[in-house]
Amino acid sequence: MIELAEAKPKVGQKYVDAMRAQFGGKILEESWQAAEQVTLMVELNSLPDVVEFVYYRLGGWLSTVVGSDERPINGHFAIYYVLSVEGDETETEKAYVVIRALIPPHQPEFPAVASRVPAAVWYEREVRDMFGIQPVGMVDKRRLVLPDDWPPELHPLRKDAMDYRFRPTPTREEENYEFIQVEGEGVVEVPLGPLHMTSDEPGHFRLYMDGEHIVDADYRLFYVHRGMEKLAESRMTYDQITFLTDRICGICGYAHSVAYSTSIERALGIEVPARAQYIRTILLEVERLHSHLLNLGLACHFVGFDTGFMQFFRVREKTMKMAELLTGARKTYGMNLIGGIRKDILKEERTQVLQWIAELRGEVTRLVDILLNTPNIVQRTAGIGRLEPNVARDYSPVGPNLRGSGFHRDIRVIHPYCAYDRVPWTTISKTGCDVLSRTLIRAEEFFVSLDMVAQCLETIPEGPILTEGFAYKPYSFALGYVEAPRGEDIHWSMLGDNQKIYRWKCRASSYNNWPALRYMLRGNTFSDAPLIVASIDPCYSCTERVTVVDIRKKSVKTVAYKELERYCVERKDSPLK
């Protein structure tokens, strides 16, 4: 089956040629994992130059950065910069280019790319935490992933560091994360979190205010870091990880599961049967349906339109029933195996889902109509939380967040997977750059997804749903990618020699969206903060308490999240006064 993959023409050869012309001998090795995936090994010191060239000159977007401890294989640490190279607007040839560099173990350092390509900031901080490899020239010296009281010399993902069950004794009861210092007259510091009201992950925000206006923002996330990547390497088999990936995110878990499975399938050259591809597509879109309705409901809530919130959640139950009928579970579907899926769709289920789709189309059309004709929705969201196109270009955000800023970028089109190149559909993008655009994109994508589920159900091909009887090849690796409701989820997997994965790096869509949030918050008013945070749909507004630092009054004040939420909804009696 490997031969099949190699027989296809190599997509993206011209990018490799352009890089060779620019850097010549600094490119040491070239290997193709699939028709549109190439890994190039470069000299360590040329890393920032090469990544910058691919990012800004060849139209690359940073998808993920993978650190890996390959000392048992080749005696070095390795770092992989994964870029989706897309050229300019008119370009049709799009490929994943992976830049790899080896780092000597006696001097675990690499030149930081983040100063040239800001999108790499979080990734390089994470690599430092998890492997103890220093990005030289990285300005931000703070931790990203590991807890504040984690021992400084212990790097969990190093192969020789520790057992995956090892829990260092806690040393401190208090968090001591250093937030950025914003200087200036009248800046008010507002910490939010880590516990919060709306839902989702804990996260700690700090807003720097001048009166009612946000000057800057900083956040500490990763309160829920559990160590999944270590778990996958140590305790799980390939097929078990598909169920672990279901539990990465409670909303788009299936997208992760598909991304992981396809990464292994691609690394081994396994052809997944067409019927399984269609069923995966259907389930991915069903997941998008409920996720987008959830976000639309929250958008209503944050502009003070709670009737809409309740209505969207009422309608959303139909999509949950759809998932339950098709998979047996409302949330964690548990449907994927390496090579295919576990459960077929029969006629009875198909008929029922098609009927629900027709009902949903009518109900959601009415609701969206009501939402857009509610006077304060446009007033509250237009021009708010702007993600400027140049900031977006620098930070590689993904999903509706990016498409709201005029970029026509959807992984389902750029790098088609599953059955997305076999059914007709359109991508949605807007140029408003604001909360309104992002909300409208979700509303329109909902209907596109409805059509797509119906299309797939009607045209689903016959045949098996699972490929079996393949062998796992040690140390082969590849990427898997899925456009989840919030944007591109990307998984990089390298197989091991003991029926366990050697290195698995998963990157969820919100990871790319968070760093740009700071720029979206700047200049907006305090009462819009929850609205803006919710608009990137980050596994959302992680905002319980807000410490307000007022630049002019030199005062620090803590505001309960409820108070902030109330203020966002009612917009009167500011808690800052």
Partner 1 sequence: MVTDYKRRDTLMGETQYAIHMDDQTAALKGALLHDIRRSIFVYRVDCGGCNGCEIEIFAAITPIFDAERFGIKVVSSPRHADILLYTGSMTRSMRVPALRAYHAAPDPKVCVAYGACGSSGGIFHDLYCVWGGADQVIPIDAYIPGCPPTPPATIFGFAMALGILSQKLKATHHVEGEDERVQPRHPELPLDLRVDVERESRRMAGYWHGQQIADSFLNLLKAPASDIERNIQNFLAQKDDSRLTEIFGRLSEIYLMRKA
Query: What residues line the site for partner 1 (CB under 8 A)?
Result: 146-150, 156, 162, 164-168, 170, 173-175, 194-195, 197, 199-202, 222-228, 230-231, 235, 243-244, 247-251, 253, 294, 310-311, 313-314, 316-317, 320-321, 325, 330-332, 348-349, 352, 539, 544, 560-562, 565
For residue 252, give the nearest of 506, 488, 535, 484 by alpha carbon: 484
For residue 193, give the nearest of 212, 215, 218, 168 by alpha carbon: 218
User: Shortest distance, CB of residue 540 to partner 1, whole angstroms?
Assistant: 9
Whose Cβ is closer to partner 1: residue 301's or residue 430's?
301
Whose Cβ is closer to partner 1: residue 150's or residue 179's?
150
510, 429, 93, 89 alpha-carbon torsion, rounded to 10°: -120
Whose Cβ is closer to partner 1: residue 165's or residue 552's?
165
Whose Cβ is closer to partner 1: residue 153's or residue 183's?
153
User: Shortest distance, CB of residue 425 to partner 1, whole angstroms?
Assistant: 26
For the record, the structure tokens of 381 come out as 């969201």
User: Shortest distance, CB of residue 190 to partner 1, whole angstroms?
Assistant: 17
Q: What are phi and psi of 249, to 5 degrees?
A: -135, 135
Whose Cβ is closer to partner 1: residue 186's or residue 202's?
202
The type of residue at 364 is V
User: Shortest distance, CB of residue 174 to partner 1, whole angstroms?
Assistant: 7
User: Shortest distance, CB of residue 146 to partner 1, whole angstroms?
Assistant: 8
> Do residues 5 and 84 lie in contact, with contact meaning Cβ atoms separated by under 8 Å?
no
User: Shortest distance, CB of residue 168 to partner 1, whole angstroms?
Assistant: 8
- The dihedral of CA 309, 314, 316, 317: what is its sign? positive
Whose Cβ is closer to partner 1: residue 147's or residue 389's?
147
User: Shortest distance, CB of residue 310 to partner 1, whole angstroms?
Assistant: 5
User: Shortest distance, CB of residue 344 to partner 1, whole angstroms?
Assistant: 13
User: Shortest distance, CB of residue 473 to partner 1, whole angstroms?
Assistant: 27
**Cα→Cα distances 306→296, 374, 570, Å:** 11, 12, 11
- The dihedral of CA 79, 113, 156, 77: what is its sign? positive
Bridge partners of residue 81, in order along the sequence = 65, 99
User: Shortest distance, CB of residue 177 to partner 1, whole angstroms?
Assistant: 10
Whose Cβ is closer to partner 1: residue 310's or residue 556's?
310
Question: Rounded to whole angstroms, how far apart are CA atoms 139 and 402?
Answer: 26
For the record, the structure tokens of 211 come out as 């009166």
Whose Cβ is closer to partner 1: residue 134's or residue 332's?
332
User: Shortest distance, CB of residue 126 to partner 1, whole angstroms?
Assistant: 14
> Do residues 101 and 64 lie in contact, with contact meaning Cβ atoms separated by under 8 Å?
no
For the record, the structure tokens of 352 come out as 């029922």
For the record, the structure tokens of 418 come out as 């599953």
> Do residues 507 and 64 lie in contact, with contact meaning Cβ atoms separated by under 8 Å?
yes
For 154, what's the count of Cα atoms within 13 Å in the CB-facing half-sphere?
Answer: 14
3-state secondary structure of 370: helix
Whose Cβ is closer to partner 1: residue 251's or residue 411's?
251
Whose Cβ is closer to partner 1: residue 76's or residue 330's?
330
Whose Cβ is closer to partner 1: residue 148's or residue 451's?
148
> Do residues 29 and 41 lie in contact, with contact meaning Cβ atoms separated by under 8 Å?
yes
Provide the H-helix boundaries in 221-268: 228-234, 238-245, 253-268
Whose Cβ is closer to partner 1: residue 329's or residue 466's?
329
User: Shortest distance, CB of residue 436 to partner 1, whole angstroms?
Assistant: 24
DSSP letter, residue 54: I
> Do residues 123 and 65 lie in contact, with contact meaning Cβ atoms separated by under 8 Å?
yes
> Do residues 248 and 170 lie in contact, with contact meaning Cβ atoms separated by under 8 Å?
no
For residue 190, give the nearest of 485, 536, 563, 571 by alpha carbon: 563
Cβ-based neighbours of 377, under 8 Å, separated by 6 or more: 299, 300, 303, 305, 371, 436
